[in-house]
């Protein structure tokens, strides 16, 4: 494990913090083999852009294509395993009296790594809902049709994720915003900090006087604003940071 010289004030802030928020993006799952949004789409989907598929309009125009794209991603997520970055975030939660993980990821890997207090700002690809009713659908009769139909109203089924142009789940975002305004330390991990309103949470924390720490191998629009920019991949940086803060 490479030894990082983390700034002592940051380690002290972690040891004394009582209220923490962690905001994550696709970068946290990159080391689990789940492609990020802004990596080139590989393989079968190389000639499609997420922005062209992850929208209600795209679904109405070509429901089979969108359903099958998500089925491919769901299968890939099912094969993925949480990585050391996910486990480090779950350990951080266990060390904090008050903790909230606000994730933009839809892969459910944080929960599989043991994170408990999680809000999914953009939904979860393993859940399905009715396109017409907007309510969850746990099961439906086996069918070769893609997308399958809602057993209640006959409308199309769709993944329970937030598409471009759709509102975030209100309660989840409200919880993340309240926590960001209360916390003493907010981590922004593995996100390009481009997509609002999730990208505004670190700014709300800064405005409320919190320490903001960014973990990313690349700089982002948030980088100039943060107190600490830890350059590197989360699967290495986060375990090393915990080891430095709590060596025993």
Give me the active site residues, please. Answer: 122
Candidate list 32, 99, 216, 241; residue touching ligand OAD; CB under 6 A: 216
Candidate list 113, 234, 241, 242; residue touching ligand OAD; CB under 6 A: 234
Name residue 136's beta-bridge partners: 129
Using alpha carbons, list the distances in angstroms from residue 225 to 6, 16, 220.
19, 22, 10
**Which helix (H) or strand (E) is 185 found in, with range?**
strand 185-189
Q: Output 26 or 119, the one with its CB closest to ligand OAD.
A: 26
In whole angstroms, how close is the CB of 51 to ligand OAD at the nearest point? 7
Q: Output 146 or 195, the one with its CB closest to ligand OAD.
A: 195
**Which helix (H) or strand (E) is 237 found in, with range?**
helix 234-245
In whole angstroms, how close is the CB of 193 to ligand OAD at the nearest point? 7
Site string for ligand OAD, 71-110 (x = CB under 6 A): ---------------------------------x------
Which residues are within 8 A (CB) of 15 and not within 5 positions of it... i.e. 6 or more apart? 245, 246
- Count Cα neighbours of 222 within 13 Å in the Cβ-side half-sphere: 33
Q: Which of residues 133-162 bind ligand OAD (CB under 6 A)?
A: 162
* Mode of pairing for the β-strands spanning 123-130 and 157-161: antiparallel
Q: Output 65 or 182, the one with its CB closest to ligand OAD.
A: 65
Angle ∠(50,53,56) on CA atoms, nearest 5: 125
Residues making contact with ligand OAD (CB under 6 A): 25-27, 30-31, 36-38, 54, 104, 122, 162, 190-192, 194-195, 215-218, 220, 233-235
């Amino acid at each position: 494990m490479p030894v990082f010289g983390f700034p002592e004030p940051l380690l002290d802030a972690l040891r004394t913090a009582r209220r923490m928020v962690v905001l994550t993006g696709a970068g946290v799952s990159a080391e689990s083999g789940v492609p990020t949004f802004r990596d080139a789409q590989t393989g079968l989907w190389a000639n499609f852009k997420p922005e062209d598929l992850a929208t209600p309009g795209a679904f109405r125009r070509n429901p089979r294509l969108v359903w099958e794209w998500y089925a491919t991603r769901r299968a890939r997520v099912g094969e993925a395993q949480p990585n050391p970055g996910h486990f480090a975030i779950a350990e951080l939660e266990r060390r904090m009296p008050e903790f909230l993980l606000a994730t933009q990821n839809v892969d459910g890997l944080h929960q599989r790594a043991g994170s408990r207090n999680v809000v999914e700002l953009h939904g979860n690809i393993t859940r399905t809902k009715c396109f017409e009713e907007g309510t969850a659908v746990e099961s439906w009769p086996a069918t070769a049709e893609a997308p399958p139909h809602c057993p209640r109203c006959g409308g199309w089924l769709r993944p329970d994720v937030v598409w471009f142009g759709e509102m975030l789940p209100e309660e989840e975002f409200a919880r993340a915003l309240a926590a960001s305004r209360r916390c003493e330390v907010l981590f922004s991990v593995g996100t390009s900090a481009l997509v609002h309103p999730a990208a505004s949470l670190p700014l709300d924390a800064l405005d409320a006087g919190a320490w903001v720490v960014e973990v990313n191998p690349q700089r982002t629009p948030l980088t100039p604003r943060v107190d600490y920019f830890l350059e590197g991949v989360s699967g290495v940086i986060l375990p090393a940071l915990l080891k430095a803060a709590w060596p025993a």
